[in-house]
């Protein structure tokens, strides 16, 4: 989907690895892979049957990215409720890992690590595969 030039500054190796991990974990149900920062995003992959052009895919995904980018501002709240910073004993739910949004015809998965994130969209499927994909993507993002 991309011509190798990215608005976010992601390097091509990381972009390729993110798509590879998502495709391996989620298979043919994967619809798209988006990489984003608080101010920009890149469409790394879109399944060929979804949009007529890269421009159409980018336009369609821009609102989704705008919504999911709010997750960067939510980080202090997620940290506070996770019990990782001074929470009372017994309230520890552990650190944030990823978000899955359920829709009638599929899912949106958001993974954040520092100042970067990945959004995966899929058709309907078994949700356990998301844990594999999100864990691998968080590792790639942390290593960048």
Task: Give the tens place of pLDDT for each residue, 88-103.
Answer: 554 577 888 899 999 9
| 129 occurs within a structural domain | yes
How far are the Cα atoms of 30, 54, 120 from residue 75, in angstroms, in the given order? 27, 31, 19
| 68 occurs within a structural domain | yes
| 58 occurs within a structural domain | yes
| 101 occurs within a structural domain | yes
| 80 occurs within a structural domain | yes
Number of folded domains that form the chain: 1
Q: What is the CATH number of the domain that holds 48?
A: 3.30.450.30
CA angle 96, 122, 100 (to 5 degrees): 20
Query: What pTM was computed for the model?
Result: 0.86
How far are the Cα atoms of 50, 82, 109, 135, 141 from residue 129, in angstroms, in the given order? 22, 23, 11, 10, 19
pLDDT in tens, 17-30: 999 999 999 999 99
Q: Which domain holds residue 58?
A: 12-142
pLDDT reported for residue 126: 80
């Amino acid at each position: 989907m991309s011509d190798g030039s990215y608005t976010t500054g992601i390097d091509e190796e990381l972009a390729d690895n993110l798509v590879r991990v998502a495709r391996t974990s989620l298979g043919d149900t994967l619809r798209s892979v988006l990489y984003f920062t608080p101010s920009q995003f890149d469409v790394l992959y879109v399944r060929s049957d979804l949009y007529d052009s890269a421009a159409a895919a980018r336009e369609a995904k821009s609102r989704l990215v705008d919504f999911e980018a709010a997750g960067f501002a939510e980080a202090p709240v997620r940290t506070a409720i996770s019990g990782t910073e001074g929470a009372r004993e017994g309230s520890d739910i552990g650190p944030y890992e990823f978000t899955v949004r359920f829709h009638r015809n599929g899912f949106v998965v958001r993974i954040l690590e520092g100042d970067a994130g990945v959004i995966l969209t899929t058709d309907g499927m078994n949700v356990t595969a998301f844990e594999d994909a999100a864990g691998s993507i968080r590792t790639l993002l942390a290593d960048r």
